[in-house]
Amino acid sequence: MKIETKFKWALTGFLVMVLLNAALLTTIWIKKSGNRDGRSYRDNDRNPNVIHRYMQRELQLTDTQADSLSALRKSHFQEMRVLRKELNVDRRAYFDFIMSDEANNDQKRDSILTELTNQYSLIENMFYTHMTDMKEILNSEQQERFEQLMRETFIHDRKGDNMPMPHRNR
């Protein structure tokens, strides 16, 4: 076989492999972006109104309910932002402590861990209060749908569930 013929076959094989890889990657991308499991609001997660509209549509909220939930969410996220900043400062301090020469000081370690534990506990309590406050605005049918949406978002108890954690796709 001539070298030109071999080159043509090699080039043809290479092009076929490139096309097959492109088709495979496109298929994977389309399948992955279509499998959101109740997270269609994530299409544009940089816009805070997207989640608001999603909740209004999914829960069939009245305008009054939507406004109340929006105000609750805004307040909650402002409070949480402050707490997370404080938590990050303390987590960095703990890391610095672990890496320091004082790492064997059990009393200081326990003090920092207690502070971190208290902060995590406060965040969990605030989350519980926030969810309870939101549910109080909803009627019984909306509460059931709200619970379902929250389970899909926060709890991964289904077999084979490979959903990413919320707000991690940035």
| Tens-digit pLDDT string for the chain (170 aa) | 788 888 788 888 888 888 888 888 888 888 776 545 444 444 445 566 787 788 888 899 898 998 898 899 899 989 999 999 999 998 998 899 889 888 888 898 888 889 989 999 999 999 899 989 999 999 999 999 989 888 887 776 555 455 444 444 43
- In sequence order, the 6+-apart residues with CB closer than 8 A to the CB of 124 are none
Q: Token pair of 129, please? A: 């209060």
116 and 73 both lie in a single domain:
yes
Q: Which amino acid is at 138?
A: L
| Total count of domains within the chain | 2
Q: Is residue 153 part of a domain?
A: no
Q: Is residue 126 part of a domain?
A: yes
Residue 160 buriedness (CB in 10 A; 0-12 / 13-18 / 19+): exposed
Helix axes 140-154, 48-59, angle to 10 degrees: 130
Residue 79 is part of which domain span?
Answer: 67-137
Q: Is residue 107 part of a domain?
A: yes
29 and 72 both lie in a single domain:
no
Quote the pLDDT of residue 98: 87
Q: SS3 for 161?
A: coil
Q: Is residue 76 part of a domain?
A: yes
Quote the pLDDT of residue 34: 54
Q: Is residue 86 part of a domain?
A: yes
How many C-beta neighbours within 10 Å does residue 36 have? 13
